Structure 1
Amino acid sequence: MEVLTKDALVGAWALLSFTETNSTTGVESFPMGPDPQGILLYTADGYMSAQLCTTSRDGFRSNDMYLGTGAEYMASGKTYLAYSGPYHFDERTGVLEHEMAVSFFPNWAGQRQVRSASLYEDLLYLATVTPMSFNGSMKTAQLVWRRISSGR
């Protein structure tokens, strides 16, 4: 692992894996499937945005995003996660905080969520530091991101 600095965080990252581990049983699950999609952005002036989803999401029958059925909205909501806001990084401890100014999950709006963060070559490893309620049980989450090169 390399020393992670705030400058090293700045840029765009593509999601490689998203794993949750049940805190009681140790069972791992993949909430966005085995091949999730996502983009994580960190700006030099201290803002971040995270967008994560499954690779296969069904479209709405209507091309109007406000005219989906209840079932379409439910399926869409269970396969997508997004939030944005300021971030705070302590280079000494490797602790990263995402401050959620806006969130697809309304309960997260206004929260600060703490992540452990480490870097190895072009891979960014983020993990929750305490268990959170996911799909009915307390779990920790581990995510691996690869830096998106500026040539893309």
Structure 2
Amino acid sequence: MNNQEKQSMNEKLIGSWRLVRYKVCNKNGKVTYPLGEDADGIAIYHEDGHMSVQIMSAGRLSYAGGDLHSGPQKAVAAAANGYLAYSGSYQLDPEQATIEQNIKVSLNPNWEGDTQLRYVRFRDDQMVISSEPVFIQGERQNNEIVWERLN
């Protein structure tokens, strides 16, 4: 890969992205959508090497009391179960078409301080991110997140 192609991949990554689809596929080929087929989300990759990803299920219920940080235990658990969020720094390797994401903060405490490798490819105004199989819905599954450029 020449310098122009590497620069092009960097330029393609930088920006804000809207979720198109978050799906997983098990070893038998069954496709499911962990946060629903109508999940919504935003990913931001900044030129300074920082990133943030937020994905949520559609139609999450508001807390009855309106408190910013608390609600009924079942409502809080349901809200957290329908949300995926993490931020930190990243390093793009254009030659390998990978992004190494260094998670600083995450809704999932197991990811805090973790480094995760993602595979990235671009098609038109979309970015497709996947990884090695991960433990989702009780089994190791392949995942694919499709993003569409916002800016």
- Structure-1-length-normalised TM-score: 0.91
What amino acid maps onto 1:133 in structure 2? Answer: F
What amino acid maps onto 2:141 in structure 1? Answer: K
Number of the residue aligned with 2:15: 11
Number of the residue aligned with 1:82: 85
Secondary structure class of the residue paired with 2:65:
coil
CA distance in 2, matches of 1:53, 1:108: 17
Indicate yes or no: 2:103 matched with 1:100.
Answer: yes
Indicate yes or no: 2:76 matched with 1:70.
Answer: no
Number of the residue aligned with 2:136: 134
Contact in 1 for aligned 2:70/2:76 (Cα 8 Å): no
Secondary structure class of the residue paired with 1:107:
helix
**TM-fit CA distance, 1:136:** 0.8
**CA deviation profile, 1:72-108 (whole Å, cap 9, x unmatched):** 1110011001000001110111011111010000000
CA distance in 2, matches of 1:66, 1:19: 29
Q: Percent identity?
A: 30
**TM-fit CA distance, 1:131:** 1.1
Q: Larger % of helix: which? A: 2
Number of the residue aligned with 1:21: 25
**Aligned match for 1:112, one of 112, 115, 128:** 115
CA distance in 2, matches of 1:66, 1:124: 33
Displacement over 6 Å in runs of 4+? none
**TM-fit CA distance, 1:7:** 2.1
**CA deviation profile, 1:9-30 (whole Å, cap 9, x unmatched):** 11100000000111x3221110
Gaps of 5+ in 2: none
- Structure-2-length-normalised TM-score: 0.92
Contact in 1 for aligned 2:51/2:87 (Cα 8 Å): yes
Gaps of 5+ in 1: none
**TM-fit CA distance, 1:42:** 0.4
What amino acid maps onto 2:12 in structure 1? Answer: A
CA distance in 1, matches of 2:87, 2:79: 19
**TM-fit CA distance, 1:67:** 3.0
CA distance in 1, matches of 2:101, 2:19: 17
Contact in 1 for aligned 2:19/2:42 (Cα 8 Å): yes
